[in-house]
């Protein structure tokens, strides 16, 4: 029998920290108000804790001291640190503003409300409640919404703006009646409509016994104004410490003023440079006005002390963060205090301990995430940093999942804080919601969602089995003579019970079992919904499977007991989902209840449930790399921090918040409106000051390939623009590094890359014998590594698992029918010659990424060139511009600035075209001509190959010798070299088409005089504003004229030989990856078998333990 004994002995006291003189002055402060300016890393929390400990050890009662913070996490930390310092005993009240206000309201409520206290609504729940009231008012026409808002009324964003406006009303004690008066005064009819909604919401909150946070604070302020209550508060509370005072709103400042009596010592601690919550109603002005609002007993303004000693980071990070902040004066605060606040001192003056700042620009978001992952792995492997000492901070919650995915792929253990994601985005919750929604709303059962269920934790089917099932279903329909649909559509029909299982799938196979599990749970959930079951009952059926269990809960439980942090988190998320369902069950039942529940969760754009983590899950999560928004990271610190979202338009994001309903206009009726740019700078300052030794800023600069350009704040940090061609990186402050990162980074610290690099070294005959032996030795050691269960850690290291040792497989059918010619165009020819693997993935597998707005740019310019050539648009820039304006708004650009920039480029391109057109160096013959031709071309093996050639010629012209010249207009930002132009496949194909298949209007045959690229984005020269022209010589059968060398065949042009090689590649299916400069922007570089990192793991390490800590968490 295990016996336990409660240990009542006091806790050992934590050692007192060493304080500087300014901290000690705050600790020694006993009477009257005090404002403390505390920048990042100056020991703000330590100062508050020691001040409270000082009062308690001096004999002051804990009941007399109140500490107010701005989050449960901060309150818990302060409470724990006070307990550790005093060794246990009675602790003072440490609470958030809302928690203390709730206790006050409940403590003075009547008996009925004490037994059944009002429930606080989360922001997400309030959004949904407001939306229901809005939609109801629209249906019964009870509220007159302005006509210009009709299209926005049904949106989630509109409901959020209404909620924000109502919150600002309550914070400023503006009644619905007062808002109607303001509506008339400011000519804002929408305010009158919101006033009606606010009245309805007040009635609904009373009916359902709920309230939001703004209403809570309003009630608390009114209660604290009652003479009897105020006397009790003043008698009890003699000292109040407020943390993060810059984040208070007017209602909270008023609440503080009312609970603090004349003899109360109010110490407000904060930093106006870290004010980042204006979107929640916070006003930094409350901080700046503190000395005047909270005066000393003699009537003098409250004194101000600035904590000056920074212990977190050194001068390099401090200077860079201050440059991003671009600080300005802090109102009427004493000049000396402002100067001390802005000129911190540092504990460690050693130059090597001053930290570093890196600015690494990346061409795309995906490459940025890949670089972050590799840099974190490198820091863990080579610098021996623990995972939990690193963090990635994002500007927007939209980036959380993307960054986590990139880190996961790279094998970096990373975690998104539980309260960062809306509940419906939690993976485990998403599965259950999908099940319920398909059952309640059959029309939402898309093939993609059915696939997700099959591949998820209930179906447990793998991708290969899903493909096999799809093939079997297609074969069954083909054999039956029925139309063959897409495989995913047939799979969806099968799962939804509309089709029988295919004959090619065994009824007792794992595939059939997966289909049955999803079918059964959908049927059970559907039955529950149709019989009017409660939301909780329906959710329980989805979670367990009902009478036919699918086993997911048992597997999650087993995984959690086995130590899986993700399983713990999934279980916590499901519990939070059931809690949310229980609350809604009190209001609705049946189908309406289910659909309302789904809508409520789907509409949440902020986290509504605080997912309570088990201690094990929390420890596991805290041992990982943390990914969170900057707002969430406030108050935390790590050794190294990576910061994303630093693109113009995203950061700074100066789009007015709540502009549709004039929220800021109402908020600033009697105060200065929030300075959005100032808050955006503060946000970057907060982000950069989370790092102790290194901060990395990663802006995306897509140049001419996309819509992203670096934030203007980057220029402030480094002192020059990243796009300045004359910038001198050496001129930056010591410790700041500025680099442009390649499209794909070198992955050199992962197990998979180590194995890949070793295998390449073994195959590379150019490597030295010692290198190849070393690679073999590393592979042999890696192949012997086993996990706790005895399974290989890295199976790919064992030669028995190498696919390369097997024969090359063949597909079920050839790429091209043997009796059909090979169809080629000029662009496909160049693609095959450049890299047949990329051509195959782009054109055959259709795995290419959707093209950007650059495609639309080229289409518009080409269309205008065609219309002008045919006389359908006048040859003047004004007419051409008018045509562009008609269609420009339909082009989907990724950012507004990109549209403006490309519009300027479009005008310049048209100017160049007009110069070219009016010069008439050759006679215009035709425009946008489609030509096809069939011809036989020689192949490297000897026999000829039939090729079906096709192409669209932008323009056909005739030179002075009567020869035809093919013109190809280009709108890209780069041009080929002279050598590349000479063997440009597309131009060569155009020449062949003109030679063999073009007939002029009079039927005459012409010789071909070459082809030319006309670069409409490039000037011909510094003093020539016309377009750059690149001419390809006429085709010749003389081998000595072959641009690739005189080794060709007599009577055959170089382009025919190139076509023969390409056709042979396609016919024989010799698909090979070929590295080159095209790899820089290749979408498939990360999986390319020919892509070798510039830095080789083999050359870096001498032992496996130098690459991975195989005895630690990587095993």
**CATH code for the domain in which residue 545 is found:** 1.10.486.10
Counting DSSP H helices and E strands in the chain, the numbers are 44, 23
Most confident of the ranges 124-138, 393-407, 643-657: 393-407
b/e 918-944 (16+ beta carbons within 10 angstroms → b):
eeeebeebbbbbebebebebbbeeeee
The CA distance from 839 to 848, in Å, is 9
Residues 454 and 534 in one domain: yes
Domain assignment present for 7: no
Residue 602 has a pLDDT of 63
Residues 502 and 513 in one domain: yes
Domain assignment present for 883: no
In the predicted model, is pLDDT for residue 1045 greater than 70? Answer: no
Residues 435 and 540 in one domain: yes
Domain assignment present for 328: no
Residue 350 has a pLDDT of 60
- Specify which residues 1024 forms β-bridges with: 1021
The CA distance from 853 to 841, in Å, is 22
The CA distance from 248 to 225, in Å, is 19
* CA 27 vs CA 57, 228, 290: distances in Å: 12, 32, 19
Residues 448 and 563 in one domain: yes
The CA distance from 782 to 758, in Å, is 11
Domain assignment present for 1075: no
Domain assignment present for 1033: no
Residues 643 and 701 in one domain: yes
Tokens of 337: 């205090």
The count of domains in the chain is 5
**CATH code for the domain in which residue 385 is found:** 3.40.50.300
Domain assignment present for 864: no
Burial (CB count within 10 angstroms: exposed 0-12, middle 13-18, buried 19+), residue 517 = buried
Long-range contacts at 464-467 (CB < 8 A, ≥ 24 apart)? 465/510, 465/511, 465/514, 466/491
The CA distance from 872 to 882, in Å, is 13
Residues 473 and 585 in one domain: yes
Residues 726 and 777 in one domain: no
Residues 360 and 442 in one domain: no
Tokens of 537: 């009952």
Given 252, 282, 307, the domain boundary residue is 307
Domain assignment present for 797: yes
Report strand pairing: 1008-1021 vs 1024-1032: antiparallel
Q: Span 786-795, mean pLDDT?
A: 79
Residues 635 and 762 in one domain: no
What confidence tens digit (pLDDT) does each residue in 307-345 have? 999 988 988 999 999 988 887 788 889 999 999 998 888
For residue 1105, name the pLDDT band (cuts at 50, 70, 90). very low
Residue 781 has a pLDDT of 87
* CA 488 vs CA 166, 445, 843: distances in Å: 47, 12, 21
Report strand pairing: 736-740 vs 1008-1021: unpaired
Residues 404 and 439 in one domain: no
Residues 762 and 802 in one domain: yes
For residue 121, which of 200, 213, 221, 252 has the smallest C-alpha distance? 213
3-class state of residue 162 by DSSP:
helix
**CA angle centred on 132, ends 127 and 134, rounded to 5°:** 90
Tokens of 77: 């930390």
Given 154, 187, 211, the domain boundary residue is 211
b/e 558-591 (16+ beta carbons within 10 angstroms → b):
ebbeeebbbbbbbbbbbebbeebbebbbeeeebb
What confidence tens digit (pLDDT) does each residue in 677-693 have? 888 999 999 999 999 99
What confidence tens digit (pLDDT) does each residue in 344-375 have? 888 766 665 678 999 999 988 888 998 999 89
Q: What is the CA radius of gyration of the chain?
A: 35
The CA distance from 396 to 518, in Å, is 35
pTM: 0.67
The CA distance from 656 to 663, in Å, is 9
Measured distance between the N- and C-terminal CA atoms of the chain, rounded to whole angstroms: 37
Cβ neighbours, 10 Å, residue 301: 17
What residues have CB less than 8 Å from 1056, skipping those under 6 apart? 935, 937, 938, 992
Tell me which residue range forms the domain holding 381: 351-421+615-740
What confidence tens digit (pLDDT) does each residue in 698-752 have? 999 876 555 688 888 998 888 776 655 444 444 556 678 888 888 766 655 667 7
Residues 670 and 595 in one domain: no
Given 252, 281, 307, the domain boundary residue is 307
Residue 786 has a pLDDT of 83
Domain assignment present for 453: yes
């Amino acid at each position: 029998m295990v016996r336990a004994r409660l240990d009542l002995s006091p806790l050992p006291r934590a050692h007192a920290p060493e304080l500087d003189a300014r901290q000690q002055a705050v600790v020694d402060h006993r009477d009257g108000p005090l404002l403390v300016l505390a920048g990042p890393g100056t020991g703000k929390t330590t100062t508050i804790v020691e001040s409270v400990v000082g009062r308690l050890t001096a004999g002051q009662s804990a009941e007399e001291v109140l500490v107010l913070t701005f989050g449960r996490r901060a309150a818990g930390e302060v409470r724990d640190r006070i307990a550790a310092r005093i060794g246990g005993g009675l602790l003072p009240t440490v609470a958030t503003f809302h928690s203390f206000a709730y206790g006050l309201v409940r403590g003075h409520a009547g008996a009925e409300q004490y037994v059944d206290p009002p429930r606080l609504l989360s922001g997400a729940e309030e959004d949904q409640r407001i939306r229901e009231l809005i939609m109801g008012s629209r249906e019964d026409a009870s509220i007159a919404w302005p006509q210009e808002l009709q299209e926005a009324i049904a949106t989630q964003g509109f409901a959020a703006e209404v909620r924000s406006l109502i919150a600002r009303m309550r914070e400023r004690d503006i009644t619905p009646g007062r808002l109607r008066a303001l509506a008339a005064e400011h000519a804002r009819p929408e305010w009158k409509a919101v006033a009606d909604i606010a009245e309805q919401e007040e009635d609904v909150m009373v009916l359902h016994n709920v309230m939001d946070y703004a209403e809570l604070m309003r009630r608390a302020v009114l209660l604290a104004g009652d003479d009897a209550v105020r006397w009790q508060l003043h008698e009890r509370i003699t000292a109040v410490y407020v943390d993060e005072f810059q984040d208070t709103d007017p209602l909270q400042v008023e609440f503080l003023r009312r609970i603090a009596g004349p003899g109360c010592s109010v110490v407000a601690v904060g930093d106006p440079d870290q004010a980042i919550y204006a979107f929640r109603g916070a006003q930094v002005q409350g901080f700046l006005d503190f000395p005047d609002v909270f005066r000393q007993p003699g009537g003098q303004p409250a004194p101000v002390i600035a904590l000056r000693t920074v212990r977190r980071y050194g001068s390099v990070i401090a200077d860079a963060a201050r440059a991003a902040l671009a600080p300005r004066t802090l109102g009427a605060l004493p000049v000396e205090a402002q100067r001390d606040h802005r000129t911190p001192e540092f504990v460690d003056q050693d130059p090597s301990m001053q930290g570093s700042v890196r600015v690494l620009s990346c061409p795309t978001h995906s490459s940025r995430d890949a670089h972050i992952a590799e840099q974190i792995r490198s820091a863990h492997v080579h610098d021996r940093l623990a995972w939990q000492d690193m963090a990635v901070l994002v500007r927007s919650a939209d980036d959380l999942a993307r960054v986590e995915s990139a880190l996961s792929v790279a094998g970096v253990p990373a975690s998104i804080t539980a309260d960062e994601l809306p509940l419906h985005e939690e993976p485990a919750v998403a599965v259950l919601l999908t099940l319920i929604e398909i059952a309640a709303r059959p029309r939402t059962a898309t093939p993609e969602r059915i696939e997700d269920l099959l591949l998820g934790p209930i179906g447990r089917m793998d991708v290969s089995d899903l493909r096999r099932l799809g093939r079997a279903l297609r074969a069954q329909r083909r054999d039956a003579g029925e139309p063959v649909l897409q495989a995913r559509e047939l799979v969806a029909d099968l799962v939804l019970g509309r089709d029988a299982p295919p004959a090619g799938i065994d009824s007792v196979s794992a595939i059939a079992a997966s289909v049955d599990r999803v079918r059964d749970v959908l049927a059970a959930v559907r039955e529950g919904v149709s019989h009017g079951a409660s939301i909780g009952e329906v959710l329980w059926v989805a979670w367990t499977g009902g009478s036919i269990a699918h086993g997911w809960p048992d597997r999650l439980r087993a995984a959690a007991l086995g130590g899986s942090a993700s399983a713990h988190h999934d279980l916590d998320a499901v519990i939070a989902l059931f809690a949310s369902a229980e609350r809604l069950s009190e209001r609705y039942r049946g189908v309406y209840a289910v659909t309302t529940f789904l809508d409520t969760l789907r509409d949440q754009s902020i986290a509504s449930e605080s997912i309570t983590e088990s201690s094990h899950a929390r420890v596991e999560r805290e041992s990982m790399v943390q990914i969170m928004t900057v707002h969430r990271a406030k108050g935390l610190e790590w050794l190294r921090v990576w910061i994303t979202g630093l693109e113009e338009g995203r950061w700074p994001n100066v789009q007015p918040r709540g502009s549709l309903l004039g929220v800021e206009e109402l908020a600033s009726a009697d105060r200065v409106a929030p300075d959005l740019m100032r808050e955006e700078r503060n946000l970057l300052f907060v982000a950069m000051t989370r790092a102790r030794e290194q901060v990395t800023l990663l802006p995306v600069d897509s140049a001419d390939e996309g819509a992203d350009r670096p934030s203007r704040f980057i220029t402030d940090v480094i002192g020059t623009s990243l796009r300045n061609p004359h910038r001198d990186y050496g001129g930056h402050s010591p410790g700041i590094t500025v680099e442009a990162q390649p499209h794909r980074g070198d992955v050199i610290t992962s197990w998979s890359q180590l194995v890949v690099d070793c295998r390449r070294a073994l195959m590379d005959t150019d490597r030295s014998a010692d290198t190849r032996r070393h690679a073999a030795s590393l592979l042999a050691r890696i192949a012997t590594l086993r996990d706790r269960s005895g399974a290989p850690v890295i199976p790919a290291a064992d030669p028995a698992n190498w696919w390369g040792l097997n024969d090359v497989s063949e597909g079920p059918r050839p790429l091209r029918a043997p009796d059909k010619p090979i169809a080629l165009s000029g662009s496909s020819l160049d693609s095959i010659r450049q890299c047949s693997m990329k051509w195959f993935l782009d054109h055959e597998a259709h795995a290419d990424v959707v093209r950007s707005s650059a495609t639309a740019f080229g289409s518009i310019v080409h269309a205008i060139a065609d219309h002008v050539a045919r006389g359908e648009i006048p040859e003047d820039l004004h007419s051409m511009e008018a045509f562009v304006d008609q269609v420009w708004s339909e082009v989907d650009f990724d950012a507004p600035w990109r549209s403006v920039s490309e519009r300027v480029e479009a005008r310049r391109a048209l100017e160049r075209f007009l110069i070219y057109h009016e010069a008439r160096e050759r006679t215009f013959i035709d425009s946008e001509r489609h030509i096809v031709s069939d011809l036989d071309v020689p192949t490297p093996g000897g026999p000829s190959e039939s090729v079906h050639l096709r192409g669209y010629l932008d323009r056909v012209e005739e030179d002075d010798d009567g020869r035809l010249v093919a013109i190809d207009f280009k709108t890209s930002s780069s041009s080929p070299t002279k050598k590349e132009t000479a063997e440009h496949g597309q131009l060569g194909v155009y020449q062949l088409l003109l030679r063999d298949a073009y007939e002029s209007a009079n039927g005459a045959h012409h010789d071909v005089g070459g082809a030319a690229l006309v670069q409409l984005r490039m000037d011909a020269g510094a003093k020539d504003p016309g377009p750059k022209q690149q001419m390809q010589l006429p085709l010749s059968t003389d081998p000595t004229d072959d641009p690739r060398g005189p080794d060709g065949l007599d009577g055959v042009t170089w382009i025919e030989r190139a076509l023969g090689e390409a056709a042979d590649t396609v016919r024989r299916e010799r698909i090979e990856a070929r590295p080159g400069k095209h790899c820089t922007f290749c979408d498939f570089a990360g999986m390319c078998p020919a892509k070798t990192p510039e830095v080789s793991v083999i050359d870096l390490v001498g032992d496996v333990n130098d690459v991975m800590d195989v005895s630690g968490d990587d095993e």
